[in-house]
Amino acid sequence: MRTQVAIIGAGPAGLLLSHLLHLRGITSVVLESRDRAYAEGRVRAGVLEQGTVDTLVAAGVGDRMLREGMPHHGIELRYGGRGHRIAFEELVPGRAITVYGQQEVVKDLIAARLRDGGDVRFEVTDAAVHDAATDRPYVTFGGERLDCDFVAGCDGFHGVTRPSIPAGVLSEHRRDYPFAWLGVLARVKPSSEELIYARTDRGFALHSMRSPEISRFYLQVAPDEDIANWPDDRVWAELRTRLETVPDFELATGPILDKSVTPMRAYVAEPMRYGRLFLAGDAAHIVPPTGAKGLNLAVADVRLLTDALARWYATGSADLLDSYSEACLKRVWSAQHFSWWMTTLLHTFDTDDPYGRRLQLAHLDQVTSSRAAATTLAENYVGLPFDSSGSTGTSSGTRSSVMPK
C-alpha cells in the first residue's frame, strides 16, 4: 500500500489532519489501535477555544457542534465565600468558548472521513514507524506495510510514534503536580450556566457540563488516590462542601455515570519532528487540564502541519516543514504557562504553608478586581488568535490557510 501521509492515531488530531489534508487534495491513511466505539465514546476534554470552533466550522465539520454545543461567555472563580465572574463578552469582545465533548468532535470527524471515502482503520495491531530519517519512511502494522512520504504521530502520550525516535534526539520537559483530579460524569442538569472554578482550603473543585442533561465535575485529590475510596455519596458530599460556598447556590445531584482519577502533569518534547516524522497533540505535549488547552493545542498543531505539507506538495518548498516545530512550540509553551498559572492559582498545595495560601488569595483578589488581570485570563482562556502561520498571534483573524484554496 502507498499513501502520501500515514497518520497514526484516530483522535481529534489525527482525524482532523486527515480531513484537512483531504480538503487540500492530499491522501492519507489513519491507523488506530482501538475500536471505533472506544474512539467515539471516550469522555475527555469539552472546552473548545474560539479558534478551534472557527477551524471546525471552516472545515465543514462544525454543523452539529453549532446546533448542540453550548457557547459560554464567561467563567466563575469562586473563593472566600464569593463568586467572581470573568466576563468574556466585556474583556475579549467577539470571542468565547464552546462546551462540546471531545468524543463528539471525534464522531463528527469520523463521519466526515467515511463520507468522503477516507481510509480510517481501527483495531490496528503492532504499528511501527520505519526509516523516518530518510525520504522513504514507511509504517508496518498487522503484517502489512504502508509506504508514504510523511508520518504524522497523533497517537497520544502513550503511543508508539514518539518512542520510535532515537534516544538523545528529543529534549523532554516534565512536571508532576502533587495532586490528581477525581473526574465525575453525572446524569444531572448543570447547576450553573457557566463553569465554576472553586478554590477552597479542602482543595480545588470544578463544576462543568457536557450537555443540558449531563454534568462534569472534578475534585482535587491525592496523587495516589484509590477510586474505590470514593463511593457516590462521598463524591456528592465533597462536591457540596467545595461548591456550596456562596449564598443561594445549591448543587443538583443525580446518577453518576463514570468516575476516574487523572494525574496532574505537564510534558513537552522538542523538537516535534524527526526527519519525516512529525508529532502533533498529546504525542508531543500534555498540559494540566485546568486551563482546558489539550485538545485546542492539538488543533493548532494540525493547522500548521496541514499548511506545511500542502506547501511542500504544491511547490516543493520545505520552509514550513522546517519551521513546524518552532512555530508549534511557541504556542505550546504559552499554553503551558497559562495552565501552570491556573493550576497554582486554584489548587491547595501545602496545607502547612499559610504564607503561600495568603499569596494565592492575594493573587485571586488581583485577578477578580483588576480589569487588566482579568483580561489576561480571558484572552488565554478563549484562546489566543492564530497569526498567518497558525501560531500564537495578536491579530483578530481566525480563518487560516488550512482551508482549500
- Give the start-end residues of each E strand in 167-248: 171-186, 196-198, 205-209, 215-221
Residues annotated as catalytic are 72, 197, 289, 293, 381
For residue 340, give Cα distances in angstroms to 297, 351, 401: 15, 19, 31
> Which residue's C-alpha cell is 499569596?
359
Does residue 271 have a cis bond before it (omega within 30 degrees)?
A: yes
Specify the length of the chain in residues: 405
Cell of 324: 513546524
CA distances (Å), origin 205, targets 97, 132, 155, 218: 20, 44, 30, 5
What is the spatial distance between Cα 273 and Cα 375, in angstroms, rounded to a whole number? 34
Which run of H or E residues covers position 375?
Answer: helix 371-382
At residue 384, what is the residue type? L
DSSP string computed for 336-364: HHHHHHHHHHHS---TT-HHHHHHHHHHH
Alpha carbons 8 and 272: distance in angstroms, whole number:
15
Q: Which of 82, 10, 3 has its CA nearest to residue 280?
A: 10
Residue closest to 333 by CA, chosen among 300, 377, 371, 370: 300
Q: Which positions ≥6 away from 288 have C-beta within 8 Å?
A: 177, 264, 265, 266, 339, 340, 342, 343
Find where cell 446524569 sits: 187
Distance CA 28, CA 305 (A): 13
Scanning 24-101, the segments in alpha helix (DSSP H) are: 36-41, 50-58, 63-68, 88-91
